[in-house]
Each structure stands twice: as C-alpha cells, then as structure tokens.
Amino acid sequence: MTQDELKQQVGRAAANYVLSNVAHGAVLGVGTGSTVNFFIDEVAAFKDRFRGAVSSSNASTARLRAHGFEVLELNDIETLPVYVDGADEIDAAGHMIKGGGGALTREKIVAMVAQTFVCIVDESKRVDLLGAFPLPVEVIPMASAAIARRFVDLDGQPTLRVAKDGSTFVTDNGNWVLDVHGLRIPDPVGLEAEVNNWPGVVTVGLFARRGANISLLGTKEGVHRIDY
C-alpha cells in the first residue's frame, strides 16, 4: 500500500470511530494535515449527524465548508467530545510532535478542550524516541533569534521555516516557526514545560502534557487501535 492509501484507510477508521462514539448533534474537533483531509472527506457523507465542527486551521476550515459542514468558533462551544488530528511523530506513551503544517498552536488549543484526542497516523509516524522529526516551535517574530540561541544551547539546530515561495513562513496567527533539528527527547513532558516558559515562544510542538488518548495506526495489515 502507498502512504496515501494508508492515510485513507486510517481516515476511514477515524470516521467510523466518531460515528460509533460521538452522539448525534455533537460538535467535532478537526485537526490539520493530509491524513486529516482524508478523515474530513470520509466523515462528510454524515455531516448532518453533527451540529458542526471546530477547526484548527484555515485550510481545514475551507475543506470542511466545501463539504457543507458548519464551522463553529471554539469560544462558542461548551463541550467537545472528540478531537481528531494527525501527528508527525508519536511514541509508545501517546506523546507527539506536531506542527509540520504550521497549525500547532490552534491544534493544541482545540486538543486542550476535547474530552478525547484521537491521533490518526500511518505506521511511519510511530517512534521509540521523539526528535527525529524537526521540532516545530511557533515564536513571536522579534524573539526568533533569541529562541534559536536557546535551542543551540540544548544541542539543537534551529532553522527558520520558509514558505514555498521562498519567503518566511507565517502561521495563521501571524507568527514564525522555528524547526529544530537534531534533538533527542527522552523527557517530552519536561521539555515541553521548559520551552513553553521561554519568553517569545507561543507554542512548542510537543504534545506530551496533553497527549493522545487513542491512536489509530494505519499499517499494511490494517488499522490498529492503541489506547493510552
């Protein structure tokens, strides 16, 4: 199976999960990325079962609306039973690196509100130790050089993310992203707490203090559910 086929099967499994576990009239939390796009496409056929969705990015909002979903503001939602999103890496404890698409801050906010975080990934994202994927960090632009120096002190190799047109990548929140290469992260909870306390950091792409509750892992043998 190709990677896209693996993503499609896990997107379908996530749609089946919410149809079986989320009450009629509830609001879905929807993340960002290529695997989530397959989930959106799969669940769209049942959109009338749900009051609407809360989205973590402008791109996902546009895709949801194109399928006829009502996209709601998180501030108007009291309960969010489930949040479905992908990850760039996930370990055996459900700790993740996220933010390859640049939506890490909004993703973390929606994940904080959700009762259950369902992470949907193909088997290439499962790792024993986080850090092979460069760690995304959303930063206030004026702090980017100072934050980069802090990561160098941790033996990281930070680079400023560049958009496809060669300009500096700008998040939906108007900030920049540092991608930190070369880290090995044996204590993701501790590193998340430390980096989030640095002035100028908006969000670090470690989802460890609020990790996944469930992962749906796409493999050539089918989709495996893992509970944490």
Catalytic positions are 107
Which string of DSSP letters, residue by residue, matches the chain?
--HHHHHHHHHHHHHHHHHHHS-TT-EEEE--SHHHHHHHHHHGGGGGGSSEEEESSHHHHHHHHHTTPPB--GGG-S---EEEE--SEE-TTS-EE--TTS-HHHHHHHHHH-SEEEEEEEGGGB-SSBTSSPEEEEE-GGGHHHHHHHHHHTT-EEEE-B-TTSSBP--TTS-EEEEEES--BS-HHHHHHHHHTSTTEEEESEE-TT--SEEEEEETTEEEEEE-
Q: Any binding-site annotation on 2?
A: no
Q: Any binding-site annotation on 31?
A: no
Q: Any binding-site annotation on 98?
A: yes
Q: Any binding-site annotation on 116?
A: no
Q: Any binding-site annotation on 85?
A: yes
Q: Any binding-site annotation on 86?
A: yes
Q: Any binding-site annotation on 99?
A: yes
Q: Any binding-site annotation on 211?
A: no
Is the distance from CB of 91 to CB of 217 less than 8 angstroms? no
Q: Any binding-site annotation on 48?
A: no
Please tell me the distance from the alpha carbon of residue 213 to that of residue 196, in angstroms, as a whole number: 22
Please tell me the distance from the alpha carbon of residue 46 to that of residue 169, in angstroms, as a whole number: 35
Q: Any binding-site annotation on 87?
A: yes
Q: Any binding-site annotation on 101?
A: yes
Please state the residue numbers annotated as binding site for substrate: 32-35, 85-88, 98-101, 125
